[in-house]
Amino acid sequence: MTNERVTAQILAQFPQLEKDPSPVKDYPTLRLPDAASLLPVISHLKDSLGFSYLDMVTAVDWKGPVDPAGYVREERAHPFQAKPAAAAAAKPLPGAPYRDAFTLVYALSRFANPLKIFLKLDVPREQPRAASLARIFRTADWQEREVFDLFGIFFDGHPDLRRILTLESLQGHPLRKDYAHAEDRFDR
Amino acid sequence: MGVALEKFPAICGVLPGGSGILTTADAFINWSRKSSVWPVTFGLACCAIEMMAAYASRFDFDRLGVIPRPSPRQADLMLIAGTVSKKMADPIVQIYRQMPEPRFVISMGSCANCGGPFHDSYAVLKGVDKIIPVDVYLAGCPPRPEALYYAVLKLQEKIQQMKIGHGAGAAPQQERGSRDLGAP
């Protein structure tokens, strides 16, 4: 029941939000219509509703099926196979909601009267940008660096947006569906 | 060591005075070298758990004189215990260069040997021997502490064959006396 009450509270304050048709488990999951409403909603959740902890920032790439050419894997002739298996062509899954967008997913927690809430925000794959939460939650600093590193989503107002997990010299962003690995000095 | 002390009176009795022994410099230096192989303390991934088990009381690496050192300046051995990510490659070379010669490397587990299950990854080095010379390769995913014991015993066999006249080298490429990677 707390779920519905909190969702109603937020929707009353921000009528432009909508309930996500595919929520994360049973948690209240809200979808943001545009990047501009991100900071006001997060600030309201933190200051007025007591969601004082940012669990996670992550992203999903909704581009079509992964291109097998993007893998580093070499096609070797297997001793028990007549000929090397050709790379299977990428086949779209029927019914999968492919679209040209990244979805940013934010999870926030409240410890008094415990509850977890999820927020989703679509950003375009061309020039993906969103506002940084680093000024509201210090922990967003590294989380957003990771999302930037692996998906290449830029966070406006981030204090130090550098790669965090991969080599500084890596070309591209590995968790994008169209990532193709370029040979670096360690692959030789 | 205990065995050597028990036999000591008989060995010493050969020479007049009963307190001296004859040996070659190679045998003596190699014996002392192989009896105190000090590894630098670091682990990279899950193989490090097996490495810690080997250090701890049940397997007790101290029996072989393998005592982890917190500084590469005091270490003889680098145990590459786990997956070497490309981000970690440069720090490993730096730590290797900080170690005094002669220095040895044991590559522990499939990941350190060849990349293992992460061979196709964009982020993992396909074998630590691409960046530093390796003395003993140890297969397994992860190898048990007994296997790590075996690798250290193999390294001790290798150290036993070193010749002072050839420099510090235990491996053929070491025989010029240095395994420096072109560093100053």
Best residue in A166, A186, A187 for a mutation probing chain B (most B CBs within 10 Å): A186
Q: What is the pLDDT of residues B46-90, one digit of tens each?
A: 999 999 999 999 999 999 999 999 999 999 999 999 999 999 999
B1 or A15, which is more confident: A15
**A75 at B interface, C-beta within 8 A:** no
Best residue in B87, B93, B121, B122 for a mutation probing chain A (most A CBs within 10 Å): B122
B130 CB neighbours in chain A (<8 A) are 186, 188
What was the pLDDT predicted at A67?
64
Query: How many CB pairs below 8 A link A and B?
Result: 29
CB contact under 8 A, A166 and B86: yes
3-state secondary structure of A180: coil
CB contact under 8 A, B126 and A187: yes
The mean pLDDT of A56-77, rounded to a whole number, is: 71
Tell whether the model's pLDDT for residue B1 goes beyond 50.
no
Q: Which of B119, B123, B125 sits opposite A166 (nearest CB)?
A: B123
Please give the model's pTM, rounded to 2 decimal places: 0.80
* Residue A127: both structure tokens together: 């020039």
Give the gap in angstroms from C-alpha A68 to the nearest C-alpha of chain B: 12
In A44-132, DSSP assigns E strands to: 53-61, 101-110, 115-124, 129-131
What was the pLDDT predicted at B183?
40
Percent of chain B with pLDDT over 70: 86
Query: Which domains are assigned to chain A?
Result: 1-66+97-180 (3.30.460.80)
A71 CB neighbours in chain B (<8 A) are 120
Q: What is the pLDDT of residues B132-151, one digit of tens each?
A: 888 899 999 999 999 999 99
CB contact under 8 A, A187 and B131: no
Q: Which of A167, A179, A188 sits opposite B86 (nearest CB)?
A: A167
Tell whether the model's pLDDT for residue A79 goes beyond 90.
no
CA-derived radius of gyration, chain B:
18
The whole-angstrom separation of Cα B26 and Cα A16 is 82
Give the gap in angstroms from C-alpha A2 to the nearest C-alpha of chain B: 42
**A2 at B interface, C-beta within 8 A:** no
Q: What are phi and psi of A16, to 5 degrees?
A: -75, -15
Residue A97's pLDDT band (boundaries 50, 70, 90)?
Answer: confident
What was the pLDDT predicted at A74?
53
CB contact under 8 A, A165 and B123: yes
